[in-house]
Amino acid sequence: MDALQEKDRAQMCDEIAAFFKEEHDLELGVIGTGRILDFFQEMLGKHIYNKALDDAKQFYARYADNMETDYYALYKDVR
Per-residue pLDDT tens, the chain, 79 aa: give them: 457 899 999 999 999 999 999 999 999 999 999 999 999 999 999 999 999 999 999 999 988 888 888 888 888 888 8
The model's pTM: 0.67
Q: Hey, what amino acid is at 52? A: A
The pLDDT value given to residue 2: 59
Cα torsion for 54, 4, 37, 47, to the nearest 10°? 10
CA 49, 55, 57 angle in degrees (round to 5)? 105
State the number of CA atoms in the 13 A half-sphere of 58 facing the CB. 6
The pLDDT value given to residue 70: 82
The pLDDT value given to residue 4: 86
